[in-house]
Amino acid sequence: MGTRFGHRKMLIGGELVESESGRWLESVNPANEELIGHVPQCSKADVDRAVAAAKQAAPEWDAIGVKARADLLRELGRRLQERAAEILEVEVADCGSTIGKLRGDVGHAVGALDQFAGLGYEIKGETIPASTNNLHITIRQPYGVVGRIAPFNHPLYFAVGGAAPALMAGNTVVVKPPEQSPLSASILSEICRDLFPRGVVNIVSGFGAETGDAIVRHPDVRRIGFIGSVPSGLAIQRAAAETCVKHVSLELGGKNPMIVFPDVDIDQAVNAAVMGMNFAWQGQSCGSTSRLLLHESLHDEFVGKLKARIDAIRLGDPADEKSQMGPINSKAQYERVLRYIGYGKEDGARLLSGGYRPEDAEFKRGYWVRPTVFADVTPDMRIAREEIFGPVLSVLKWKTLEEALHIANSVEYGLTASIWTNDIKTALRTAKAVQSGYIWINGFSSHYRGTPFGGLKNSGTGREEGIDELLSYTEVKAIHIGI
Ligand code: NAP
């Protein structure tokens, strides 16, 4: 019997193709465990074909110039919008994130295309007064073939948003979508097949350990942009180094602190603590503020209000506009979330809210868990130290700023932080001292396009979403002209 979305194809060298291996990956709806479609499980041979096609297309793609590339990126945005309803239907079923949240993702992808199309003429060099007898200039040139590997939480957005700066800078791309939620990449493949010169965009679905690894190791892929977990990022750095010298940028995980000072409006800060967890996509966000650091003076009142808000979150069918949280993305991720809830209990934290799978009939199948809050968490506990990437919030208590900073900075991660206070000096002192790459003062969760997003410590290397990202897809040459 056929599945809802059928067998879909990927894009290699301008053709929609199956894997040469004949293998297929299954895609499952996490809301009900229904098998909803298949995509090719691409092999190393498929990756080799994709890289060869990208390599062949690269010189001409660079040569067509900024304006022609910008026009094509903007046209890609228009075509994504034309098919937005279809993309939304596929992504909600394939990811489990709520329809309200995922509706924004096509818009974010179009925003990235527009942004980088508009920045094309900024891919420029400098003149440097290094001597009086010569003219010293720099120029920027593309790497050639770029590999982009995406995680499961925003499959279409990360595929498009990640490819946009690489393409704008004159590179061709080989993109690997996540195996858990790969279906929207087949729609992207169809659009790109019709739009771009053959070989400019290649999309290969498959497992990280096989398809992703083949991209990373390929000697003709000198630039890799990766979004995913710390262990995968480390594996990619190691594997990349085995073939040749490569430029690898990594956007990795977070265990992000939200630090609340005694002078805040508690209701506003409670709202931020809930919204900062991104429950609309089950907390599966690298930027979720999953460690809530409360000053002892407001702790008890805060926690009471927080529990009321979390208990009221409406879990349900992600395709229903009224649902505020859907199922966890995959069985493996669901089991991970449950495992960490177990660790929280074992390590002596107090379960304040959730922590279980609801028993109602609509949750009988699928990967459901109530949004969960643990109080009385101490910095040594596993739920305080390790990224869960799910709807689990850990509440910790502090007395002095030094203690708050010590807790905030005590993990391997350094992606985002949210600081809540009305005292500007305290806010800025904290922002300077906290070891995170992206900080909100009296804010949460939002990405502001144009500002550099990325992590310190094990949360990554490189910055995305701003001009730094565009330029990171170029290499600088210095040229000295005798005059
Ligand atoms: P993941 O397991 O690291 O996978 C991310 C992608 O990398 C997937 O496409 C995966 O393939 C592939 N992959 C895994 N191992 C690989 C290897 N050795 N070589 C090449 N490719 C490999 O992460 P995830 O579970 O999908 O996503 C959650 C993680 O992403 C969290 O840690 C989250 O914080 C992080 N994230 C970071 C950001 C950011 O901007 N900093 C944004 C979103 C998510 P499969 O298809 O087989 O999984």
The hierarchical CATH code for the domain 10-252+460-482 is 3.40.605.10
Q: How many CB atoms lie within 10 A of CB 359?
A: 8
Index of the ligand 1 atom closest to the CA of residue 387: 32
Q: Please, are residues 81 and 100 in contact by the beta-carbon 8 Å criterion?
A: no
**Is the pLDDT confidence value at 346 over 80?**
yes
Structure tokens belonging to residue 332: 């493996």
Annotated catalytic, 192?
no
Indicate which residue of 42, 95, 192, 286 is catalytic: 286
What is the per-residue pLDDT for 36?
A: 98
CA distance 315 to 368: 8
Q: Where in the chain is the domain with CATH 3.40.309.10?
A: 257-454
3-class secondary structure, 217: helix
Residue written as token pair 């905030």: 408
Question: What percent of the chain lies above the pLDDT cut of 90?
Answer: 100
Residue ID of nearest Cα to ligand 1 atom 11: 208
Q: Which pLDDT belongs to residue 40? A: 98
CA-nearest residue for atom 13, ligand 1, is: 208
Q: Report pLDDT for 148.
A: 98
Cβ of 286 below 6 Å from ligand 1? yes
Instruction: Please indicate whether residue 95, judged by its CB atom, sits closer than 6 Å to ligand 1.
Output: no
- Short-list 215, 196, 202, 183, CA closest to 40: 183
Q: Residue 74: CB partners within 8 Å, gap ≥ 6?
A: 113, 114, 117
Determine which residue's CA is closest to atom 43 belonging to ligand 1.
Answer: 286
CA distance linking residue 414 with residue 436, whole number of Å: 4
Tell whether pTM > 0.85.
yes
Q: What is the pLDDT of residue 323?
A: 98
For the chain, the average pLDDT equals: 98
- Cβ(209) – ligand 1 distance below 6 Å: yes
Instruction: Give distance in angstroms: CA of 235 to centre of ligand 1.
Output: 11
pLDDT digits (tens, 9 = 90+) for 431-479: 999 999 999 999 999 999 999 999 999 999 999 999 999 999 999 999 9
CB of 465 closer than 6 angstroms to any ligand 1 atom: no
State how far the Cα of 394 lies from the Cα of 373, in Å rounded to an integer.
6
**Length of the chain as a residue count:** 483
> Could you give the CA distance from residue 95 to residue 367 in angstroms, rounded to a whole number?
11
455: Cβ–Cβ under 8 A, 6 or more apart, which residues?
251, 252, 254, 413, 414, 415, 436, 437, 438
Is the C-beta atom of 216 inside 6 A of ligand 1? Answer: yes
Confidence of residue 178 (pLDDT cuts 50, 70, 90): very high
The pLDDT tens digits of the residues spanning 285-341 come to: 999 999 999 999 999 999 999 999 999 999 999 999 999 999 999 999 999 999 999
Residue nearest to atom 9 of ligand 1 (CA): 178
Tokens 């869960």 map to which residue?
388
Pick the catalytic residue from 251, 464, 465, 469. Answer: 251
Task: For residue 208, give the DSSP letter.
Answer: I
Residue-level pLDDT at 74: 98
Q: At what angle do helices 99-118 and 84-95 cross, to 10 degrees?
A: 120
For ligand 1, say whether the CB of 413 is within 6 Å of any of its atoms: no
Q: What is the pLDDT of residue 415?
A: 98
Q: Which residue is associated with the tokens 């806010």? A: 427
CATH topology (fold) of 257-454: Aldehyde Dehydrogenase; Chain A, domain 2 (3.40.309)
Q: Which amino acid is at 378?
A: T
Regarding the beta carbon of 18 and ligand 1, being less than 6 Å apart is answered no
Q: How far is Cα of residue 131 from the mean position of the Cα atoms in its chain?
A: 45
User: pLDDT tens, 245-257?
Assistant: 999 999 999 999 9
pLDDT confidence of residue 143? 98
pLDDT at 1 over 90: no
**pLDDT at residue 46, as a whole number:** 98
**Cβ(152)–Cβ(256) below 8 Å:** no
Q: How far apart are CA 278 and CA 283, in angstroms?
A: 5
Looking at residue 298, what is its pLDDT?
98
Whether the pLDDT of residue 208 is over 80: the answer is yes
Residue 225 token pair: 């942009």
Two structure tokens written together for 434: 């906290």
Closest Cα partner for 192 from 163, 219, 229?
Answer: 163
User: Which residue type sits at 175?
Assistant: V
| Structure token digits, residue 449 | 């396009």
8 Å CB contact between 28 and 329: no
Structure tokens belonging to residue 163: 């490819």
Q: Using one digit for the tens of pLDDT, what is the confidence trace for 131-158?
A: 999 999 999 999 999 999 999 999 999 9
pLDDT digit string (tens) for 4-45?
A: 999 999 999 999 999 999 999 999 999 999 999 999 999 999
Give ranges for CATH 3.40.605.10 in the chain.
Answer: 10-252+460-482
| Catalytic annotation present for 42 | no
Pairing of strands 291-295, 257-260: parallel
Neighbours of 441 (CB within 10 A): 15
CA distances from 54 to 62, 188, 214, 215 (A): 12, 17, 15, 12
Cα–Cα dist 377/372, whole Å: 13
